[in-house]
Amino acid sequence: MNIKSAVICILLVVSAANISLAKDPRGSSFSNDAALLLQHDGVRKELNLNDNQKNEAIKLADKAKADGDDLIRLGLTSAKEFQDRANDLTEQHKKALEKMLQPQQLQRLNEVSLQVSMRYDWNATLINRLSEKLSLTGDQKTKLLELKKEQPTAYKDKMNELKMNDPNRAQTLRALNNQQRATSLGILTKEQTQTLGELEGNEFDMKLLISFTLTVPGAK
């Protein structure tokens, strides 16, 4: 059974390495896998890894990416089955990280991972990853779910509206991205926002990590 919907693929690209915060067509995601971040030298330096850890980190990151790519290629039509398998993979990678990293290194990696997710996949992150930690109410979850559906469509419409040679295209899309994120974060209370900041830790310099492209293929 074919499901007609747009798929948002957020690619964080540095040279040949990339992180795919991927979603299947039903809206499931596996962007919580912190092991993927270890592909990037900037993250490995942030964690102050020793030589042995660096080698192990690169191997694990490559495996995590391969596992995610294999999962997407399965073409699963069940959102639950997709997410269950994604969660199993993430848990396997998490156990490997716990063996490889010191507690403070693992904490910092989780903070950076959360910052990345909140920057590019904020609605799904708030709903799926932070719901309990932030004690989101039913009303908040409902509003975030609505935005999770509406915002990608609005972004896609704006992309189609702007000409490719428009000198302000990138700036306009970046402003819309920031506006949409601010709208979602505005649903949180002051206390929840403070808790979120504590969970994210010190700000990580994203310039060490990414060049950013966002692609929204048309629905088929």
Is residue 58 one of the residues assigned to a domain?
A: yes
Is residue 65 one of the residues assigned to a domain?
A: yes
- pLDDT given for residue 83 in this prediction: 82
The segments of the chain whose pLDDT lies below 50 read: 1-30, 211-220
- pLDDT given for residue 11 in this prediction: 33
Is residue 189 one of the residues assigned to a domain?
A: yes
Is residue 53 one of the residues assigned to a domain?
A: yes
Number of H helices, E strands in the chain: 8, 3
Closest to 187 in 3D by CA, of 128, 133, 122: 122
Q: pTM of the full predicted structure?
A: 0.77
Is residue 3 one of the residues assigned to a domain?
A: no
Number of domains in the chain: 1
Is residue 104 one of the residues assigned to a domain?
A: yes
Is residue 157 one of the residues assigned to a domain?
A: yes
Is residue 2 one of the residues assigned to a domain?
A: no
Give every strand in the sheet of 17-22, ordered side by side: 17-22, 9-14, 211-215
For 55, the domain range is 9-215
